[in-house]
Structure 1
């Protein structure tokens, strides 16, 4: 096992010190760690004009959340680690549902927290990652479905509104 010498860059371009969550209050950290799951649920729920979602959409969303483990962002990796470390078995599925207005308000609140507390690159990576979770769910192809089906207009509007709330548009 080798040890780095002081002054050497960290391995694989990552920072030597892991991100500490100490810069975030408990409420801010809860907001940042709950938002990806809420976005996944909002993208997957049935809506007028939205094609029926199946298991493939949920799996696509979970895969997009898990993809955050390899992001080049300490913040995104820490959020994913926190998501996988928690035990939410006490929360009922009804408690996890969210309406769009509340979700967009939470996205705006997260942007405000990130502006105050996060490195700009980590902030951008987090916001893009959260949007990618929704995009993967909205673009998931149902089992037996055609792969070249365009995104439904209701999903495009959802993604546009979400991107706006995340300050990406």
Structure 2
């Protein structure tokens, strides 16, 4: 299934939750507006950075970008309330008034943003939700990088991302 089909195949509003799963939390009261903004823009930033050429990194195809969108959408099926809430927020966002990447798209910008997100998660999130969120974000980059021809610079990008997310 193409990412565009995935995006349009289910309505986030009014769709019953998947079997045995609760719907995403209706509130983000545990997070400040700034913190929630970090959590909801990081996945898009990661997708854009993974799909963009960088020093020594190859350019990606449209298909790789669609793989990334599919990886983002896959978060809707997560067991984590936090991941599902983040995905719901991403898809509910009015794209005319916000930038999904928060204005930062380069790979060089990612480590400090990732570290800020990890600090927020340590303070506010359940450890299982924190781990699920960080692994989901990393999986977006992995899927984009592996959608094309393997390149050694991709592994370095993924290693730096994993370090910044506290997964290594």
Residue 41, structure 1, aligned to residue 48, structure 2: yes
User: Unpaired segments of 5 or more residues in structure 2?
Assistant: 1-18
1:133 aligns with 2:132: no
Checking the alignment, whether the CA contact within 8 Å between 1:19 and 1:74 is kept in structure 2 is: no
RMSD over equivalenced CA pairs, Å: 2.3
Q: Tell me which residue corresponds to 1:156.
A: 155
Task: Give the conservation status (yes or no) of the 8 Å contact 2:25–2:81.
Answer: yes
Report Cα offsets for 1:128-165 as digits up to 9, x if no partner. 00000111110113xxxxxxx4x211110000000000
Distance in 1, matches of 2:101 and 2:118, equals 26
Shift of 1:20: 2.8
- When normalised by structure 1's length, the TM-score is 0.81
88-97 or 126-135, larger mean C-alpha shift: 88-97
Matched, 1:83 2:82: no
CA apart distance, 1:102: 2.4
How many residues get paired?
A: 150
Structure 1, unmatched stretches of 5+, are 1-10, 142-148
Choose from 51, 60, 63 the match for 1:56.
Answer: 63
User: Larger radius of gyration, structure 1 or 2?
Assistant: 1
